[in-house]
Structure 1
Amino acid sequence: MKIGKLRHRITIQEYQATRDSFGAEVKEWVDIKTVWASIEPLSGREYFSAKQINAEVTTKIRTRYLKGIHPKMRVLFNDRIFEILSVINVEEKKRELELMCKEEV
């Protein structure tokens, strides 16, 4: 992996249960790790559903290998949110991850 391609700062988040000041359980997105990555849009489409026009963008995010990343997490980049659909350990070498994502539009 060429380091020059990792020019985007992303934050990986996980949905976790925490406690508020009253002791009640609250579920919220919690930052797990902030890393450098490359972001490459792959495809986009618009579709009509329930009298609404929706947009969907498929994106590939590449980063150095991180242990414990899974599809129930999401990626933040600036003000954009990407839902992780799959996590690929490139060539099974534990050097690089490809996160196949869907952008929430």
Structure 2
Amino acid sequence: MRIGDLRHRITLQKVERIRDSFGGEQLQWVDFARVWAAIYPLGGREYFAAQQINAEVSTKIVIRYLKGVEPTMRVNFKDRYFEILSVIHMAERKKELQLMCKEVV
């Protein structure tokens, strides 16, 4: 990864339980970190399921190492959201993370 490859500004988000005014809890996406990233579309497929056509796009997002990034998070890039399927810590050297994602359509 070269510094010039990190040209996309993304926001990593995580789910938190937020207590409402009635004492109940709601799940809400909150910002975890805003970082620079390289985004690489890997491929896509369309499939027929439950009488609906759904699009699934595989994407690799590379960021500098950041402690606390987990597969339960998602990536917000402009008006697009990506579900993180796995977090790969390349060579365990605390230099970069590869986020294998699926775009939420």
Q: Report TM bin, short chain.
A: over 0.9
1:74 and 2:74 equivalent?
Answer: yes
CA shift, 1:30, in A, is: 0.7
Superposed, 1:1-105 pairs within 5 Å as 1-105=1-105
Q: Which amino acid aligns with 1:46?
A: E
Aligned length in residues: 105
Specify every segment of 5 or more residues in structure 2 that has no aligned partner in the other structure, as ranges.
none
Q: Could you state the TM-score of these two structures normalised by the residue count of structure 2?
A: 0.96
Q: Which amino acid aligns with 1:100?
A: M
CA–CA distance in structure 2, aligned partners of residues 53 and 32 of structure 1? 32
Q: Could you state the TM-score of these two structures normalised by the residue count of structure 1?
A: 0.96
CA shift, 1:27, in A, is: 1.1
Percent identity between the aligned chains?
Answer: 66
CA–CA distance in structure 2, aligned partners of residues 68 and 12 of structure 1? 11
CA–CA distance in structure 2, aligned partners of residues 98 and 66 of structure 1? 11
CA deviation map 1:47-72 (0-9, x unaligned) = 00111111100000000000011110
The alignment yields a C-alpha RMSD, in angstroms, of: 0.9
- Runs of 4+ aligned residues of structure 1 deviating over 3 Å after TM superposition are none
Q: Which amino acid aligns with 1:98?
A: Q
CA–CA distance in structure 1, aligned partners of residues 42 and 56 of structure 2? 11
